[in-house]
Structure 1
Amino acid sequence: MGKTVTGKVVLVKKNLTDMTDPAASLVDRVGELLHHRVSLQLVSATVVDFANWKRGKLSMPAYLEDWVGTLTPITAKEATFLVRFDWDVETMGVPGAFIIRNNHHSQFYLKNVTLYDYPGHAWLHFDCNSWVYPTNKYKYNRIFFSNKSYLPSETPEALLDYRREELENLRGIGRTGELKEWDRVYDYAYYNDLGMPELGKRFARPVLGGSAQYPYPRRGKTGRAPNRKDPNTESRVGGLDLITLNIYVPRDERFSTVKFWDFLAYAVKAVAQTMGTVIDDRNIFHFDSIQDVFDMYEGHIKLPSNDALKGIRDAIPWTLVKELLRNDGEKLMKFPVPAVIKGIRQNLSVFIRTRRSQHDVNVAILLASEDKTAWRTDAEFARETLAGLNPVIISRLREFPPTSKLDPEIYGNQHSSIREDDIKDNMDGLSVKEALDKNRLFILDHHDALMTYLRRINSTSSKIYATRTLFFLQDDGTLKPLAIELSLPHPQGDKHGAVNKVFTPAERGVEGSVWQLAKAYVGVNDSGYHQLISHWLNTHAVVEPFVIATNRQLSAIHPVYKLLHPHFRDTMNINALARMLLISANGIVELTVYPRNFALEMSSAIYKGWNFTEQALPADLLKRGMAVKDSGSPNGISLVLKDYPFAVDGLEIWSAIETWVTEYCCCYYTSDQAVEKDIELQSWWDEIRNEGHGDLKDQPWWPRMSTIHDLVQSCTTLIWIASALHAAVNFGQYPYAGFLPNRPTVSVRFMPEAGSKEYAELKENPDLALLKTITPQDQTMIGVSLIEILSRHSADEIYLGQRDSDEWTSDEKALAAFERFKTKLLEIEANIETRNNDPKLKNRNGPVKLPYRFLDPNTSGKSGEGLTGIGIPNSISI
């Protein structure tokens, strides 16, 4: 018995905001009249066609209805079309996929297809979320599978060949030359596109990856031609592609239209405010006072309201209007006020509204004026190691004096010169041994990571030290700094060891100014390490090979693909833009962070010690001595420092992810043998190890991927890195480092010696001496503009515990497990708010009154877009 099956197709047409083809809609309408239409063919999952190599039976082509009559909006909006299939249920069974052919002039974004009233099913759903280009761009059919998951061994015979061929297409087998935007090829390349050797030796950069000297994770392949000067270097993007930020990544990995316009608007605004602020000042080399820095954020030129702009709101992308013609309370050509200097004013406002006594108000204003310098305090300096933008480096001190792991045959004595006499009077009466035994000494150690590069870095305009900073855990749970050691290579050669200077806290006089300067040098070290290692290397760079391998080796209907895919959104695109603009030769990172042209090379040296299993939060905390094993605790560990906001919140998030991944994987794998026999999964893991992270393939720490435990821990670790870890080290950038004196990225002169002109200046005008030492004004403008962009949550952000579609799978057990995960994340949100309001937990807010919310999941959607500092996106999306 024949039957007509009705389907609904949801897609986004190409529109005017694509800029490159504004006539696309009209041309496609003409094409429809000439029968150049969009067709779909259903593929049976249950009935094979022996005449078609035992593949699923195909329906006759069905066409989207009323394309001509459906208006194309100016901006990216969904359109819905009907499609009617002739489908004999008795002889053709249940559809498990469909083939689509786009015979139009231009591409469209296919969101989903739903079949209604199918016998035995309320509906059948196909989640697509892919750009479909005209058929002449492909040498194969575009196929989409239903939202039912299958392990390879359980895939219906009718779909097996389609599953295999789709993976082959994504691997780009036989594809050569430069990849184009419609190519869907995922493949690997070295980081050989950072340099511009044609401009001279100063702009040449080593190839990262593929060698023992410069190991690195792999990036996505673009296929661009070699540089004409150096065949080992790939030619860089230029011309119109550079202006339009057009660099190859598979089209489905690119930003959405909404996000692209957001990104472009923020970039244009950043350039405008940078130029405006620099031009407005008489000295472009350094700030003349701290007030000059505050003036970057304080202005008085307001712009039209929403109502005044309403007439043009729909004419061009709204974010661009809003950012170029500000109407949200921020000022023209001014930066938003960073939270590290904003929290005091916000709390003062609340205090005034809730007090009737004028005396109370006067006292509050006096305290707030004093607290405008809260960022300078030792208490805040220490707290930010636990709850700032880089809370992943501090470790418990386990031996005194601190020691170095650098080879003494090459680098001589690199051990610390800090002695007990330097710190004994500041440890509440404890000896060093007692403090070590009681787990009350901690260290922020950047010595070994930087010392091997210090000579080269200091040959540039940067003048930095390798630093060690000791902290003492006080009875109230807060840390206080005990000593800072600044180290330089010995002038007679590396084998003579380090030249160390030790500084201890002081509040007044020139000693206090010297101490403030010593803290600034530590901040410089930590800022650069954060940007290059904690942020770029340990999240962005290490995850990209997983994105590539997942698309090459796991079918879209593989359950592990469905688990991981949301956590890869936009990662390849933001990484490609970083290679284009940020981490390349003379890019923004080299211009604004102290390692200069050695930045990525230094990250390569540190990648040698990267260990995937140690990226798991419990393992990381154990390695740093911030936790000890405890079988009675939920994660098998107990924190040494109980009020450690990153770790406390992070362990709750980690546990929620681990539980979710365990429940999900157990829906599909009933035994360890099922993991071992999953051919796609084994190929995936083999490729991650041997290709994506091929320079570390022989490391013994790689999980074998032979048990359900291996799978759960690997997926949990990967999701943690891509979501929570990235959120913790990314979205604190503008709140803390938007005010550069708090987190300088460069120092341009050394600590002044007593008797020098610089020392006299430090004594007479310590703020000016500080500002002449740290990030110069022009670099500050560029750096702050960059981190303002990187710290924003986008309008289309999808947070942990959310999906872009409710029908991402048809498996009821998986959906129920995901709902439990979401409920747990909502509980964690409430827990974080409770902790932030607990006055006993002094590290949650600190002197600057900035609550720790970077690991608040925002699953509930309470916080919107922008510089909110709240929310864990699913992926490394910015």
Structure 2
Amino acid sequence: MIGNMFGKTMDGNNMVKGKVVLKKKNVMDVNDVGASVLDGVYELFGQKISFQLISASHPDHKFAEAKVGNPAILEDWKSTNLSIKELMYEVKFEWIGLPGALVVKNYHHTEFFLKTLTLQDVPGYGQVHFDCNSWVYPSKYYERDRIFFFNKAYLPSETPEFLLPYRKQELFTLRGNGSGELKEWDRVYDYAFYNDLGDPDKDVDHARPVLGGSSEYPYPRRGRTGRPSTKIDPKTESRLPLLKSLDIYVPRDERFGQLKLSDFLGYAFKSVVQFLVSEVLALDITYDEFDSFEDVLKTYEGGIKLPLLEKVRKNIPFEFLKVISQTDGEGLAKFPMPQVIEEDKSAWRTDEEFAREMLAGVNPVSIRLLKEFPPTSKLDSKVYGNQNSSIKASHIEKNLDGLNIDEAIKANKLFILDHHDSLMPYVRMINATSTKIYATRTLLFLKKDGSLKPLVIELSLPHPQGNQLGAINKVYTPAEHGVEGAIWQLAKAYVAVSDSGVHQLISHWLNTHCVIEPFVIATKRQLSVLHPIHKLLHPHFRDTMNINAFARQILINGGGILEQTVFPGRYAMEMSSVIYKDWVFPDQALPVDLVKRGMAIQDSNSPHGLRLLIEDYPYAVDGLEIWFAIKTWVDDYCSFYYKSDEMVHNDTELQSWWKELREEGHGDKKNETWWPKMHTCQDLTDTCTTIIWVASALHAAVNFGQYSYAGYLPNRPTLSRRLMPEPNTPEYDELRENPDGVFLKTITAQLQALIGVSLIEILSRHPSDEVYLGQRESSEWTMDADPLKAFEKFSKKIRNIEERIVKRNNDETLKNRVGAVKVPYTLLYPSSKEGLTGMGIPNSVSI
């Protein structure tokens, strides 16, 4: 407290003192000394920062519109100690009644970050808080004044009349006018197709199709940048040079904060690896191989000598060589030890672990119940011929614990990891390159101890004489010894390759990063910061636009890191577009997804009305607790503001938000009938629960275990370079004599492996300023007491879930929680420290 915080003006009006907390640009951005000097000069000539309060209400009813207070000037800008990260100033304001909004004008040379304004002892109201958290650029860059609102939520129909014009004006500003190239100070949220992945001006090999806006390549929308088109193709947006990747436009308030940016740059400028990759490929150097598994382990245990680095040293600045990992001047690369090999260096090769990771690994969202045998295909037989499985009962019945096929299916004992239909249309094109893959099907059996065992793997290729002639299927069954055992290990590796690609492209990128971005944009364009649903969802959109823009610039672009390290190569994003055709928003709800995949059934006698068919399914067990905790929180929150279905239906901003989300953000699916109508409270709570689940827990489950499991590439190879050796061939003889050597020559090559590991190390790290599920950046995010109490209840429930996860992981009867590799399932453990922890649920898709 600062004592009595209001006095009298000369004309007798009350004065209110406030505390402004901000950060200067030269503290947030490195060494902007020139800006600091210029700001000192500006202040000498009276060009400062002014604040004006706008009344939400006033006891004097003679006012027909909001009263705007006289400017209050922030003093002593130039004399502030610049070593302090957060600066606090006292500012005197004219009392104008209840302050509901704030006008901020920056007359300095550079922008600053306005964190909060807190007014104490406002006559008749007490404390009034503004949670601003926004960059304010010099006023010359703005057509309209910067407006901030106090921390009270209002539905549009309940907004104080004085504030309505400002509420509408702010949304109008954020929508922009849909034209022109956007600059860093612009605050515009708008939509664009994914037309910035290719670079046809470079050469034809770098051209990529536009994703979005067509029935052939439907896709969610991304944030518009407005850059000019390429010279060759007017439908393709030009790209920024690699070294200006961080300059790609996203609204400044969506960019990483300083702590996260420092963390990100500290590791992520391994991601300038894009430059290294292109240079190495241009040199046409043969990638060095890992000669043995011991050779692979040196990457983690003591560093591995990389002669390749010496070969390219003359062609690439040495700074870029560091992108492989922390290296010394001799080209010695060393990575942190992945969890999957910390306790046991070979347990990853067991059938037990191969199956367990489908339930508790980095991609636990693809396995499903097998409901028919043999498995069939949904591909168009007129185009692809017969794509049904060739697996026979004789392949598996001896391993069904005495059951026959029908009995096993009836008992819900058979499961499948099916990557056949999604991959087969692309196998021929991919295999025409140096990559050699299969479409895969893997059948598994649920044992009495609750774990799974693989029964059979089917590897499929298109018929060499044409797709219409169907698939060439080969079936492999488990074996432990000799050449048969080596073949079985290769078969599992091909499955891991296909699952890695589907995980990275679909489970991770498409189903979390990509589909959430339109929700971010629509929320900022259509829901005022005063809107309760904006306040509910805002934490779950933190940094999403920034990381997605960065991904478009160096990860998922034509010739980018993803294409270089994951098997679909140049067809990667195109494949994700084809699979987006089957994306259904309501199916992203965890209970719906589990039932749809046959992993759970409706059961009124079970907790939450669902019974898991694999009781020890760690992702689902932990996930359902998280899901229903989120749902209860959302129900409690929304019921405070919406007392009836009619209030939902009549909420003009909410209806505009939902209409724009469907018709613009996910515009290629606007005619789908499965979209919720947004007419009822149930529609609203279900929708918000699903958004929060996808942005937080689902993303955490498929992202933060990447280094734990795939940091050791033999466990999760991302591509394969040879097809399965056939009997009576030199390759088969080589496999018999040197099975480990053939395995390593088949999966991801050394350089690509190190590039891939560098990338997932970045993606798996938590920054030091992360905000986790059950937490908020500010304790004063709303002035409404009931929502604050509901959030505290939610936070407590999240902490209780953590305790139960630890208890389950210590239960040795649960075979799938830890497994042979001794890695406990913590990917849905909500909190975390910074770094590579293999746990933690950030509020948002933030990395």
Q: Normalized against structure 2, the TM-score is what?
A: 0.93
In structure 1, what is the equivalent of residue 14 of structure 2? 3
Q: Is the 8 A contact 2:274 2:561 kept in 1?
A: no
- Provide the residue aligned with 1:65 in structure 2: 75
Matches within 5 A, 1:143-158: 143-158=147-162
- Shift >6 Å, 4+ stretches: 48-52, 270-276, 323-326
Determine if the alignment matches structure 1 residue 38 to structure 2 residue 33: no
- Tell me what 2:319 maps to: none
Deviates further, 813-822 or 267-276: 267-276
Tell me the equivalent position of 1:56: 66
Once the two structures are TM-superposed, the CA of residue 25 in structure 1 deviates from its matched residue by: 1.9
Cα displacement (A) at 1:49 = 10
- Tell me, yes or no, if the aligned pair for 1:854 and 1:870 is still in contact at 8 Å: yes
Within 5 A, what are the aligned runs for 1:287-326?
287-299=290-302
**What aligned pairs does 1:170-319 form with structure 2 within 5 A after superposition?**
170-173=174-177, 176-238=179-241, 241-242=244-245, 245-268=246-269, 284-299=287-302
Q: In the TM superposition, what whole-angstrom CA distance separates every residue of 1:350-400 from its partner, at most 9, and x where no partner exists?
A: xxxxxxxxxxxxxxxxxxxxx420000000000000000000000010011
Q: Any conservation in 2 of the 1:274–1:333 contact (CA below 8 Å)? A: no
The one-character-per-residue Cα deviations of 1:417-437 (angstroms, maximum 9, x if unpaired) are: 111100011111111111111
The alpha-carbon distance between structure 1 residues 324 and 110, as it changes in their structure 2 partners (threshold 3 A), is farther
Question: Structure 2 vs 1, CA of residues 298 and 99 (structure 1 numbering), >3 Å: closer, same or farther?
Answer: same
Q: Is the 8 A contact 1:48 1:157 kept in 2?
A: no
Deviations 1:112-144 (CA, angstroms, capped at 9, x unpaired): 100011123331000001000000010000010
Measured after TM superposition, the shift of residue 636 of structure 1 is 2.2
In structure 2, what is the equivalent of residue 364 of structure 1? Answer: none
Matched residue of 1:425: which SS? Answer: helix
**2:360 — aligned with what?**
387
Relative to 1, partners in 2 of residues 1:48 and 1:613: Cα closer, same or farther, differing over 3 Å?
A: farther
Q: CA, structure 1 residues 400+204, in 2 after alignment: closer, same or farther (shift >3 Å)?
A: same
Q: 2:351 aligns with which of 374, 378, 384?
A: 378
SS state at 1:114 partner: strand
Superimposed CA distance per residue, residues 5-27 of structure 1 (whole angstroms, 9 cap, x where no aligned partner): 00000011111662483322222
- Number of residue-to-residue matches in the alignment: 810
Q: Give the structure 1 partner of residue 88 of structure 2.
A: 80
The residue matched to 1:43 in structure 2 has which SS? strand
Checking the alignment, whether the CA contact within 8 Å between 2:27 and 2:85 is kept in structure 1 is no
Task: Verify: 1:604 aligned to 2:605, yes or no.
Answer: no
Structure 2 counterpart SS, 1:502: strand
The whole-number CA distance in structure 1 between the counterparts of 2:754 and 2:90 is 52
C-alpha contact 1:543 1:718 (8 A) present in aligned 2 = yes
SS in structure 2 at match of 1:58: coil
C-alpha deviation, 1:779, in angstroms:
0.6
Residue 529 of structure 1 pairs with residue 502 of structure 2: yes
**Matched residue, 1:568:** 541
For residues 447 and 807 of structure 1, the distance between their equivalents in structure 2, rounded to whole angstroms, comes to: 51
Alignment-mate amino acid for residue 64 of structure 1: L
Query: In structure 2, what is the Cα distance between the partners aligned to 1:55 and 1:764?
Result: 87
- 2:326–2:333 contact (8 Å) kept in structure 1: no
Q: Whole-Å Cα distance in 1 between the matches of residues 389 and 754 of structure 2?
A: 36
C-alpha separation in 2, matches of 1:633 and 1:544: 35
Q: Deviations over 1:433-480 (max 9, x none)?
A: 111111110000000000111111111211000000000000000000
Q: Does 1:124 align with 2:134?
A: no
Which residue does 1:316 correspond to in 2? none
Q: Assess if the C-alpha contact under 8 Å between 1:47 and 1:158 holds in 2.
A: no
Amino acid at match of 1:86: E
Which has the higher mean CA deviation after the structures are superposed, 582-591 or 265-274? 265-274
> Please, what is the CA RMSD of the aligned residues?
2.1
Alignment CA distance shift 1:28-1:294 (3 Å): same
Distance 1:579 1:564 in 2: 24
SS at match of 2:172: helix
- Which residue of structure 1 lines up, in the alignment, with residue 9 of structure 2? none
For 2:275 and 2:23, how far apart are their aligned partners in 1? 36
Aligned to 2:99: 95
Q: Which residue identity is paired with 1:120?
A: G
Query: What is the distance in 2 between the residues matched to 1:778 and 1:662?
Result: 50
Match of 1:676 in 2: 649
Is this contact kept in 1: 2:456–2:478, CA < 8 A? yes
Q: Which residue of 2 aligns with 1:873?
A: 842
CA–CA distance in structure 2, aligned partners of residues 654 and 708 of structure 1 = 18
Q: 2: distance between equivalents of 1:540 and 1:191?
A: 13
For the residue of structure 2 that corresponds to 1:448, the secondary structure is coil
Assess if the C-alpha contact under 8 Å between 1:48 and 1:56 holds in 2: no
Aligned counterpart, 2:563: 590
Structure 2: tracts of 5 or more residues without a match: 1-11, 305-321
CA–CA distance in 1 between the matches of 2:703 and 2:59? 50
1:630 Cα deviation after fit: 1.1
Aligned partners of 1:171 and 1:186 also within 8 Å: yes
Task: Tell me the SS of whatever aligns to 2:38.
Answer: helix
Aligned-residue sequence identity (percent) comes to 62
- CA distance in 1 between counterparts of 2:241 and 2:139 reads 29
Deviation of 1:66 (Å) = 2.2
What's 2:529 paired with?
A: 556
Give the distance between the partners of 1:8 and 1:20, measured in 2 at CA: 27
Determine the structure 2 residue equivalent to 1:412.
Answer: 385
Scaled by the length of structure 1, the TM-score of the pair is 0.90
Structure 1, unmatched stretches of 5+, are 302-319, 345-370
User: How far apart are 1:778 and its partner, in Å?
Assistant: 1.0
Residue 168 (structure 2) pairs with residue 164 (structure 1): yes
Quick one: structure 1 residues 459 and 275, their matched pair in 2 at CA, closer, same or farther if it must change by over 3 Å? closer
Moved more, 759-768 or 26-35: 26-35
Label 1:50 to 1:552 Cα distance change in 2 as closer, same or farther (>3 A). farther
Code of the residue aligned with 2:338 in structure 1: it is P
